[in-house]
């Protein structure tokens, strides 16, 4: 037990199954809560377990699936226990509005607004995983750490002991990521998809799209395309089609967050991609219906390791990635 008390875990309704798996990894029980709605539709939250003088970790996924309720629910739960726990650490596998870090004039900077709200919750520190924009963490007043689930995808890649592989980037903007992952996976070849768009329809013009690689091209190669998230899937699946037309053999997409929007699953199912690997950062009620080509990695053991290090004051830097 550290100076902050015993480890205790609490969660809401945003990703309870993941929280249960983390608790199992740590050999602890989740703090009991009661969350629901009044007849008028207003949300209520109650903490039924004892968290006094504990090192409390809140596990959540602030996703739009729950609308504004995920944000409000988190605030209500923290209000119940902010004066009881010795220390409170937020562990957010996904935090919404991360792609809204820029705004036009007279448009809300949504992520900054969300950060202001979370700053009032009473967290002593927050752990974020694979933010879309690393600078977004600077919008929080609370001490925070940025850790990458991308390392789980890299470990999966290394575990398979693959050969004849080229590391792919779905667009020019992700070139730096592809080059860094090639170094981390000891791969010498990368390819960058450069998509040309029809000026009238704005759709990808496959006949004019280009790919840069080594002088021998990618024909017969196994391509791994890397990204931090998949939403509509249009960009990354367009890259898959371009790569396939260039003669690639097997194509795998490795992306951290499965932030699938309507139509994304059908696009994946109908594309020539052989496998899509994601991390279980966002809960989906229809996951049992996902195409069989989607593989989901459980981050619970890794989150448990992070909690152990934070609890004992261990070094988190070995868990960081820079790309």
Domain shared by 158 and 231, yes or no: yes
Domain shared by 136 and 193, yes or no: no
Domain shared by 159 and 99, yes or no: no
Domain shared by 117 and 182, yes or no: no
Q: What is the pTM of this model?
A: 0.91
The boundaries of the domain holding residue 112 are: 7-149+300-319
Domain shared by 111 and 179, yes or no: no
Give me the DSSP letters along 123-170: -SEEEEES-SSGGGGGG-SSEEEEE-THHHHHHHHHHTT--SEEEEES
Which CATH number is 129's domain given?
3.40.50.2020
Domain shared by 94 and 213, yes or no: no
- Please check whether residue 277 is in contact with residue 252, taking contact to mean a CB–CB distance below 8 angstroms: yes
1 within domain boundaries: no
Domain shared by 144 and 18, yes or no: yes
Mapping DSSP to helix (H, G, I), strand (E, B) and coil, where does residue 47 land? strand
**What is the number of structural domains in the chain?**
2
* Residuewise pLDDT in 10s, the chain (323 residues): 568 899 999 999 999 999 999 999 999 999 999 999 999 999 999 999 999 999 999 999 998 776 678 899 999 999 999 889 999 999 999 998 877 655 667 677 788 889 999 999 999 999 999 998 777 888 899 999 999 999 999 999 999 999 999 999 998 888 899 999 999 999 999 999 986 666 777 676 665 566 666 667 899 999 999 999 999 999 899 999 999 999 999 999 999 999 999 999 999 999 999 999 999 999 998 999 999 999 999 999 999 999 999 999 988 877 776 55
């Amino acid at each position: 037990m550290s100076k902050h008390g015993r480890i205790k875990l609490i969660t809401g309704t945003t990703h309870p199954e993941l929280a249960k798996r983390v608790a199992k990894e740590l050999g602890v029980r989740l703090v009991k809560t009661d969350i629901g709605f009044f007849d008028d539709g207003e949300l209520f939250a109650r903490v039924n377990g004892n968290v006094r003088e504990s090192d409390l970790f809140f596990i959540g996924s602030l996703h739009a699936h729950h609308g504004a309720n995920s944000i409000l629910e988190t605030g209500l739960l923290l209000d119940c226990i902010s004066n009881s726990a010795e220390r409170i650490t937020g562990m957010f596998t996904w935090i919404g509005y991360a792609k809204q870090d820029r705004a036009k004039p007279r448009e809300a900077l949504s992520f900054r607004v969300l950060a202001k709200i979370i700053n009032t919750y009473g967290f002593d520190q927050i752990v974020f995983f694979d933010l879309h924009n690393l600078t977004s963490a600077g919008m929080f007043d609370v001490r925070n750490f940025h850790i990458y689930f991308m390392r789980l995808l890299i470990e999966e890649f290394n575990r398979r002991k693959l050969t004849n592989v080229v590391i792919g980037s779905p667009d020019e903007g992700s070139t730096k990521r592809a080059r860094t992952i090639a170094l981390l996976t000891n791969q010498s070849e990368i390819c960058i998809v450069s998509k040309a768009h029809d000026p009238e329809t704005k759709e990808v013009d496959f006949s004019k799209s280009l790919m840069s690689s080594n002088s021998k091209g990618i024909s017969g190669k196994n391509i791994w395309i890397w990204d931090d998230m998949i939403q509509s899937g249009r960009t990354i699946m367009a890259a898959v089609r371009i790569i396939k037309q260039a003669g690639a053999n097997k194509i795998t997409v490795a992306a951290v967050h499965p932030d699938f929007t309507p139509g994304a699953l059908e696009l994946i199912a109908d594309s020539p991609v052989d496998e899509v690997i994601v991390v279980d950062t966002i809960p989906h009620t229809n996951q049992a219906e996902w195409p069989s080509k989607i593989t989901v990695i459980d981050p619970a053991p890794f989150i448990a390791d992070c909690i152990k290090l934070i609890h004992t004051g261990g070094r988190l830097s070995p868990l960081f990635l820079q790309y």
